[in-house]
Structure 1
Amino acid sequence: MVLSHGGESGRPMGPVERRTVDRVLELAPDEASRASGRALGAESAWSEAGRAGPGMAWGLCPGTDGTQYRTAVDANGSSSTCSCSAGASPCGHVLGLLLLLAADAPMPSPPGDPPPWAAQWLAERRPEASGGAASRAAAARRAARRAERVTGGAQELEQRLADLLRGGLATADRPDYGLWEETAARMVDAQAPGLAHRVRDLGSVAASGPGWPVRLLEQCALLHLLDSAWLGLDRLPGPLAATVRTRVGLTASPEGPAVRDRWTVLAQYDAPDGRIVTRRIWLYGEESGRTALLLSYGAQGRAPALALPVSTVIDAEVRPYPGGGGLRAELGQRFGEPVVTAAPPPGGTAADAVAAYGDALRDDPWLDAWPAVLRDVIPAPSSDGWQLIGAADGSALPVAPSALSRPGLWKLVALAGGSPLTVFGECGHRGFDPLAAWGPESSDDVGAGAAVALA
């Protein structure tokens, strides 16, 4: 399937699924088109816009000179058209309509038949979009071209890291130091958003307080490791190669058989990233004993559509994504109605959580944290914050700095009341980030035994 912009002159793009906002933004050929698409990803930017089915949309977008640009997309047929004269493809108008579909935003016009100009274009394009073999060949060519661009970006990043280390890290904390944003922009141009995100993160390390040169060197080493892994991708084992592709920023589809289970929702929280909101939902399978991570996205300040309250139990199928330790999954078919449980999942000690994170790092060296359930731990203050201490063995984990300023920490302390309790969270090199807790069984409080969301 070929998605082209502006009739015959557009650059082909890959298929776009309605539910993936990040995949839409990755189609942007440059940062200017990405910013334009974000600005136009709101219904207020369009007139006479409508949709038919989950993947078709059209609309008129007024320009600054009063011109009405005609734009239509057929995400199912993976095609688009726009009457603007933008040199980049896809243009911001096409990206804006795709973002509206991805966010399932309302359209100014009710669902129905497209206007004559859009209907004619769809009729002309759909036969072309249905050529299966030609579509697969075109998709392979697009993937190869993108891989070449990512490789060029990785080689450039290697050179810039070498120049930084050769010149010394001391220059990186100057207020006028502009390497990070410039390099991140180059990685965006190379269609490697994962590399761009990691480069931007380096910019905050120099302002992170005493000891920043050591932390910056560590992060530069991890970035070099990722670069080297991409450049030697064909020599890596399959699971690690899939992890590298994901870390670089290439999208993947779920693969392998679906796993049906009774999944308990352990935690749900949102993490803003620019103008995109990422929702992370952690599930625990009662029969399979596996933990799964669901990711969903919202655009233009909209909350992601998927919402699963903590302690909800759903009978459903999930399909895992490749790489990343097999944590990320896609929620599939659900069966029956959800129920609520107060029972916490099985857990272990602080030492068990650290060991599990260490094992996971062998498969994914760029992993920031790993899910863990701690049983019978007591929150207690420490010299530089808080920690969770095992009641039985005295093993302890520091609470991650990111959690110290959240109200959830004080909920955790109040819920424990000095007694052991069960906590679910993410254990990583920065400490343990508590996301949900189950109160002490001996407590007489009305919330005893019920999960309390901490994020």
Structure 2
Amino acid sequence: MTQQGVRWTADQVLALAPDAASRKAGSKLGAAGPWSEAGSSDEGTVWGLCKGSGSKPYQTVVDIADTAGPAYKCSCPSRKFPCKHALGLLLLWAGEDGAVPSGQAPDWAGEWLAGRRKRTEEEKRAAGASPAAADPEAARRRAERRAERITAGAGELEQRLTDLLRTGLASAEQAGYGLWEETAARTVDAQAPGLAARARELGAIRSSGPGWPIRLLEESALLHLLDQAWLRREHLPDDLAATVRSRIGLPASPDGPPLRDHWLVLAQYDTTDPKLTTRRIWLHGTDSGRTSLLLSYGAGGRAPELALPMGLALDAEVSAFPGAGQLRAALGEQFTAPSPTTARPLGVTTAQAAVHYGEALRHDPWLDAVPVTLDRVVPTPDGDSWQLADADADLALPLPSTARSRPGLWRLVALSGGAPVKVFGELGHRGFTPLTAWPEGAGEPVSLC
């Protein structure tokens, strides 16, 4: 349980925000002014009444002790989770200025909390019940039919790549985006969403700025490699074949043995498209040293349900998904709610990070990036760009243009002040994207997402 005396930081609270607008609005409500009857319990519940535009204040309650991450309830009409009132209430609670004293939850908060925990227990019992045995023969036939459709789609995509190379890369600029969108639609029909996504990326490269022919050739080669790996999957090692199936877009279930550890939440951030929001949560096992990735999804503009604020730690089990070098895992049984910690991951040099990325590509050639914690690096300008320079060696990793445009870069520069810092992020072929940083010595982590 989250103890009344253990508070989160403002950064950890704001990491829960579904978007920048909610983060800004929630920050404005983090003062005592609009709140009344605010309180908290040792069991990890925070509640309060927030004055709004109507005659009645909004009833807001947060269950911090839920092992799946904070749960929220607010009488406001917002469809965002958490809403700005929940964020403001947590910021008020995190302030440690007595604005949220310990007490007994009011009836409206206690009824919601009791009902929610009852539903959670029922869901756990239902999940533990033995499901009816599926028809293995029917499942095998469905898998075979899908594999046949994917093979047909891969063959058509191979023909499209052959035509591109035969007519020359310049033809891609004349053909436009529509040709690749049509190809992507056909691979979606073939039930190969991974191939479809890469086909769409090919169509967008021609408008990506100077040097696009080189990038188009590189991505075409990777797509060709994935096609050929699927067509010859029976001859691949089991781990690599599992990676290929994952890259194609076939669903998989975690098959690794549950690993119990105290998991430090290194970073959490969302990526969105018109149909889906994907949340990536990086965990670090403080005992095992293992890094794992949790993926959570939200459709229709809704934020994903799983939320684990950066800098907290939880005692839990995770199970790995199949695949060579696979870092994705599923969160299993959680024995404690997330709570603050002073733990930090071990760091490596910039040279060791580059070697690690190269080794990871041997297992998964389609890998975009690997998680890395850099020790003792200094953010420094490099002409119009920025880089993370090793404080103890004449080596540096560049920051990609996407990272340079984020406000997190300036938070990193301010945290460093020219001194070495520890930085966690993702290292790929375009550079290192910083996500979280720690100052030298003691100090709270700073989110750079």
Shared topology, TM-score over 0.5? yes
Task: Trace 1:317-328 onto structure 2 (pairs within 5 A).
Answer: 317-323=317-323, 325-328=325-328
Distance in 1 between the 2:132 and 2:349 partners?
56
1:138 is aligned to 138
1:97-141 CA distance string (max 9 Å, x none): xxxxxx9xxxxxxxxxxxxxxxxxxxxxxxxxx8636x2211111
Assess if the C-alpha contact under 8 Å between 1:344 and 1:422 holds in 2.
no
Q: What SS class does the counterpart of residue 336 from structure 1 fall into?
A: coil
Assess if the C-alpha contact under 8 Å between 2:258 and 2:317 holds in 1.
yes
1:358 is aligned to 358
Extract unaligned runs of 5+ from structure 1.
1-102, 104-129, 442-447
Distance in 1 between the 2:205 and 2:231 partners?
26
Distance in 2 between the 1:176 and 1:235 partners?
36
Distance in 2 between the 1:337 and 1:184 partners?
42
Q: Which runs of 4+ in 1 moved over 4 A?
A: none
Task: Trace 1:130-279 onto structure 2 (pairs within 5 A).
Answer: 132=133, 135-174=135-174, 176-279=176-279
Distance in 1 between the 2:175 and 2:220 partners?
19
What's the TM-score once normalised by structure 1's chain length?
0.69
In structure 2, the CA distance between the partners of 1:151 and 1:258, relative to structure 1 (3 Å rule), is same
Cα drift, residue 344 of structure 1:
2.1
Cα drift, residue 440 of structure 1:
2.6
Assess if the C-alpha contact under 8 Å between 1:343 and 1:449 holds in 2.
no
Matched to 2:310, the amino acid is V
Number of aligned residues = 321
Distance in 2 between the 1:337 and 1:200 partners?
40
1:283-341 CA distance string (max 9 Å, x none): 00011111000000001111100000111110000000001512000000011233212
Cα drift, residue 384 of structure 1:
3.7
Distance in 1 between the 2:339 and 2:249 partners?
36
Matched to 1:318, the amino acid is V
1:287 is aligned to 287
1:175-203 CA distance string (max 9 Å, x none): 74522101101110110000000011111
Task: Trace 1:42-441 onto structure 2 (pairs within 5 A).
Answer: 132=133, 135-174=135-174, 176-323=176-323, 325-441=325-441
Extract unaligned runs of 5+ from structure 2.
1-80, 82-130
Question: Identical aligned pairs, as a percentage?
Answer: 62
CA RMSD of aligned residues (A): 1.6
Distance in 2 between the 1:337 and 1:233 partners?
42
In structure 2, the CA distance between the partners of 1:285 and 1:178, relative to structure 1 (3 Å rule), is same
Q: 2:445 aligns with which of 411, 436, 451?
A: 451
Distance in 2 between the 1:225 and 1:258 partners?
32
1:97 is aligned to none
1:44-77 CA distance string (max 9 Å, x none): xxxxxxxxxxxxxxxxxxxxxxxxxxxxxxxxxx
Assess if the C-alpha contact under 8 Å between 1:342 and 1:451 holds in 2.
no
1:349-393 CA distance string (max 9 Å, x none): 111111101000000000010000000000001124100001011
What's the TM-score once normalised by structure 2's chain length?
0.70
Assess if the C-alpha contact under 8 Å between 1:343 and 1:450 holds in 2.
no
Moved more, 240-249 or 201-210: 201-210
Matched to 1:340, the amino acid is P
Cα drift, residue 342 of structure 1:
3.2
Q: Which has the higher contact order (CA 8 A, sep 6+)?
A: 2
Q: What SS class does the counterpart of residue 183 from structure 2 fall into?
A: helix
Matched to 1:207, the amino acid is S
